[in-house]
Chain A
């Protein structure tokens, strides 16, 4: 591979791996900024992947090329609906957040496969979708010499949307009234309560946003990568997104860069096999490298990250 191809490949493969993680980790960030620990991201992604696939298969003839985009929205909405379980459990029913999140993770794959069997005549995975979300050139930007070729040609547009969304999320969290209030219930719900902010409402919003974004993250997996839903469509990405959120110190932009970093590490291990000097190394080195690099970078360069102060705490309003 020449340098240009290597760079292009690094960018595109980084985005393949990172795109679902970006959305989902942003979702996690909203949830935890609002004080609800969300280890159920994996389950939410499953629902998003499943629902978007069913939608795509059912309506691809109606909506044509718009199908994958609509499917993402459907995935997001279903993720949101599914996350209500988590909101009810943690906000109203005072459940331990980790228990509730684990319930999502156990429930979602079981329910998705169960429903697949119900809908598709006993089959354990769906058919292949016909309208997939494929790579394209980004208008204008792809015309920039060199940079356009590396970054914006044949690229997974949704990944770039995710990157922009991270900045938008930061802006929402830190520059708007909604964001200020959302963060206040994650830091000190009692204080927010004394100021007339409805802690329950804010925490619901936090969880539902995470459901929406996690659902979209899952939908990206099925719409752009596996092109169907099966039990292994979502195989640990939710936990990687959780890791990205923590790695990014509960900051949307940080989470996005962490997700990109994970993608980059994977990408290096793939592209590394094309770089002459190291291509002879044992394959296991390349397999282990992304995870080892993550630990090393986190331990020695990123250091401690502190969760929002009231993250995981149940707030009980006394009356």
Chain B
């Protein structure tokens, strides 16, 4: 073999790789080396071209020009099968799972062991999968349907899919965006273990602390081009962020101390059952005051979604009461709640927040189309709606060619801005923001956080639900931790620590922590 040592030590190399969609170059003349046995991080703003590049590596896209080398040899992959045969596997940004299939079926799909005549032999697969699951501490329920398992387990299923196919070059596209802090810690440990075994990993993430924690090298890409690669141990988070955005980024949201007023939202002894009649919120009580951001921290699936749905009227509560701006809104219809002064940035923006095939201006009118000035006597006033939309597009810096373009054509970040513009602009007494920055880059996050704090400063209440502790600590004034549908306690954001919150998220009530602290202090 004529390949020199340098090439052979590269798991993957891209040479002058360009990938164009029509006239638009999502990747432009990319040169990149991924060393064997390392974790290589990719960092870049939304739409920088990271996923595109990885889709090329996993055989889903074919490069417009340039070459791909795997283990020193030039390859031409035409499908993900080819990539699979070369030992490359990818966990996609949006999970590629079949909801209706069991975990095992999802793992084996496309590489099914069979008896004669194409009859599935899931028994054989099960053994291999359970072995892998044990080896890498990837706990799964093999017979559960994917639609019934947590996001964290879905992530583990995705990883097992790769391991099952004996991949040794693994690509993770924003794997942590949907994970809880503890799951993230687990994943980081697993990645480290894999690298130790000689596997190579490419990790895409917007979270700089993760890069600092596990990556060996980091490549920054901006607008389809490589800005540079650095050794992670030699660079600070700030340096990486600035490099990515091309300007200085502030992590800490500027905010003055809150001046809380009266309670705008009062939750008393609230219980909520989900569609399967399981009680997900249990006897919960708290207040959100005017002029403060109350953060709700907690691991995904501890009743946050049900709480938000109960407040907004999407789900009925089984007992307790909800008072918004001194008005009892318990079990009122959604519209009545909205009219009582609620703004809601929903968790799943594409499913709940927007009607993607409709125009931006129609989406901006989504909460107010039925009343003046958007409409009169049942007739929509498009002139007004469009003008209003243009105004908000400018005010909120939404990047779109026109207020009449389809909302689905906007980027994820800009779609989120449409929702924020709509909800904030009504100046609601209480704004609920559920994971408002999920999947967005630091620039966008910075912007959204600023808007939430603005809202607070205008004297309104903000209820921020987030799985990201950073976000919670950064934006909230007070923090409530939910565990198993119950209130673990409320703390001042300025006087708590990640450790304390972590304990509460794991199910230790605040008073217990305080007691044990006192005990320690007493000793």
Residue of A175, A176, A184, A308 touching B109 (CB-CB under 8 A)? A184
Choose the segment among B32-40, B57-65, B244-252, B501-509 that binds chain A (4+ C-beta atoms closer than 8 Å).
Answer: B57-65
In the complex, are the beta carbons of A177 and B100 less than 8 A apart?
no
Residues of chain B lying within 8 A (CB to CB) of residue A192 = 98, 109-110
Say yes or no: is B411 at the interface (Cβ < 8 Å to chain A).
no
Contact of B99 among A175, A193, A196, A309 (CB under 8 A): A309
Partner of A180, one of B60, B79, B112: B112
Q: How far is the CB of B97 from chain A (nearest CB, A)?
A: 6
List residues of chain B with CB within 8 A of the CB of A183.
98, 100-101
Task: Give chain B's interface secondary structure class.
Answer: loop
Segment of B113-121, B187-195, B361-369, B373-381 engaged in the interface with chain A: B113-121
Contacts of B105 in A (CB 8 A): 180
Distance from B63 Cβ to chain A, minimum over Cβ atoms (Å):
10
**Contact across chains for A180 and B109 when beta carbons are under 8 A apart:** yes
Q: Determine if B25 is an interface residue (Cβ-Cβ < 8 Å).
A: no
Name A196's contact: one of B110, B117, B119, B120 (CB within 8 Å): B110
Structural contact, B119 and A175, CB atoms closer than 8 A: yes
- A191–B114 Cα distance when bound, in Å, is 21
Write the nearest CB–CB distance from A309 to chain B, whole angstroms: 6
Chain A 295-319 near chain B by CB (<8 Å), digits 1 or 0 = 0000000000000110000000011
- Cβ of A197 under 8 Å from chain B: yes
Does B100 lie within 8 Å of A195, measured CB to CB? no
Interface residues of A in 32-75 (CB under 8 A from B): none
Q: Are B98 and A187 in contact (CB under 8 A)?
A: yes
Identify the closest chain B residue to A318 (Cβ).
B61
Q: Kindly list chain A residues whose C-beta atoms are within 8 Å of the C-beta of B119.
A: 175-177
Q: Tell whether A177 pairs with B98 under 8 Å between CB atoms, given A194-B60, A195-B109, A319-B61.
A: no
Give A259 to B61 CA distance when docked, in angstroms: 44
Determine if A203 is an interface residue (Cβ-Cβ < 8 Å): no
In the assembly, what is the distance between CA of A45 and CA of B222, in Å?
56
The interface bits of chain B over 304-338 (1 if a CB of A lies within 8 angstroms of the residue's CB, else 0) are 00000000000000000000000000000000000
Query: Are A319 and B110 touching (Cβ within 8 A)?
Result: no
Q: Determine whether A181 belongs to the interface, using a CB cutoff of 8 Å to chain B.
A: yes
A9 at the interface (CB under 8 A from B): no
| B101–A187 touching, CB < 8 Å | yes
B84 at interface by CB-CB < 8 Å: yes
Q: Does A274 contact B (CB under 8 A)?
A: no
CA distance A71 to B108 in the complex (A): 40
Q: Is the CB of B62 within 8 A of A319?
A: yes
Q: Is A120 an interface residue (CB 8 A)?
A: no
Do residues A188 and B110 form an inter-chain contact, with CB atoms below 8 A? no
Q: Which residues of B contact A193 (CB under 8 A)?
A: 60, 80
**Which residue from A194, A308, A309 sits with its C-beta under 8 Å from B80?**
A194
Q: Mark B80-114 against chain A: 1 for CB-CB distance below 8 A, else 0.
A: 11001000001010001111110001001111101
Q: A193-B80, A318-B60 are in contact. Are A176 and B118 (CB under 8 A)?
A: yes
What is the CA–CA distance of A150 and B137 in the complex, to the nearest angstrom?
A: 59
CB-CB under 8 A from A187, the residues of chain B are 98-101
Shortest Cβ gap from A300 to chain B (Å): 20
A105 to chain B, nearest CB (A): 27
Q: Is the CB of A188 within 8 A of B96?
A: yes
B425 → A minimal CB distance (Å):
34
Q: Give the contacting residue for A194; candidates B58, B100, B118; CB below 8 A.
A: B58
Nearest B residue to A317 by beta-carbon distance? B60
A191 to B79, CA, bound (A): 13
B96: chain A residues within 8 A (beta carbon): 188, 190-191, 194-195
CB distance from A304 to the nearest CB of B (A): 12
Say whether A178 faces chain B, with CB atoms less than 8 Å apart.
yes
A311 to chain B, nearest CB (A): 11
Q: A175-B119, A318-B60 are known contacts. Are A197 and B110 too (CB-CB below 8 A)?
A: yes
In the complex, the answer to whether A181 meets B109 with C-beta atoms within 8 Å is: yes
B120, A177: Cβ atoms under 8 Å?
A: yes
A188 in complex: contacting residue of B84, B97, B112, B118, CB < 8 Å: B97
A177 to B110, CA, bound (A): 9
Partner of A191, one of B97, B112, B117: B97
B523 to A: closest C-beta gap in Å: 56
Using A183-B100, A195-B111 as known contacts, list a sample of 7 further A-B pairs with CB atoms less than 8 Å apart, ordered by residue number in A.
A177-B112, A177-B119, A177-B120, A180-B109, A180-B120, A183-B101, A191-B109
Closest 9 pairs between A and B when the two form their complex, measured CB to CB: A195-B110, A196-B81, A191-B96, A177-B118, A187-B98, A177-B112, A194-B96, A196-B80, A188-B98
B residues with CB within 8 A of A: 58, 60-62, 79-81, 84, 90, 92, 96-101, 105, 108-112, 114, 117-120, 161
15 residue pairs bridging A and B, Cβ less than 8 Å apart: A176-B120, A180-B120, A181-B110, A183-B98, A183-B101, A188-B97, A191-B96, A192-B109, A193-B60, A194-B58, A194-B80, A194-B92, A196-B84, A197-B110, A319-B61
